[in-house]
Amino acid sequence: MQLNSIKPAGGAKHAKRRVGRGIGSGLGKTAGRGHKGQKSRAGGYHKVGFEGGQMPLQRRLPKRGFKSHQLQFNGEVTLGQLQKLGVNEVDVLVLKQAGLVGQLVRNVKVVKTGELTLAVVLKGIGATAGARQVIEAAGGSLAA
């Protein structure tokens, strides 16, 4: 291979559409803009969602829902993830280093998903009622 023989892949390059260049081009006269109206004119366009002055859909519908900004500080870990981690003492710092929770997380809770056979001691981590039973059955505990 030499620099003068390198070519782009087939179909990667195509000619730019040249509008308004006569009838024979197929895009002459109105240049693909149709007849009259705001969209046919130079500089004539509108923002996304504009409905010609009618009350836009996003303003006709009621506002719904709320997402708390505190959610970014809460994390969730499954029993299966604790099993894979394979550590006897688990706290928030260990989970952050393992990448199981985000760096902003302050409160972590263990949920009952997956299996746990390791005796795990949780420090500063909460657990759901079902997860607590599984952890204690495996010989682990929850320290405050």
pTM of the model: 0.57
What is the model's pLDDT at position 45?
85
What's the token pair of residue 31? 């240049």
Say how far apart CA 85 and CA 110 lie, in whole Å.
13
What is the model's pLDDT at position 144?
65
What is the model's pLDDT at position 143?
84
Say which residue the tokens 């809770």 belong to: 109
What's the token pair of residue 48? 């996304």
Say how far apart CA 25 and CA 16 lie, in whole Å.
13
What's the token pair of residue 81? 């993830």
| pLDDT tens digits in sequence order for the chain, 144 residues long | 899 999 999 999 999 999 999 999 999 999 999 999 988 999 988 899 999 899 999 999 999 999 999 999 999 999 999 999 989 999 999 999 999 999 999 999 999 999 999 999 999 999 999 999 999 999 999 986
109 backbone φψ class: left, alpha, beta (φ>0; ψ -120 to 50): beta
- Which domains are present in the chain? 17-62 (no CATH), 71-143 (3.100.10.10)
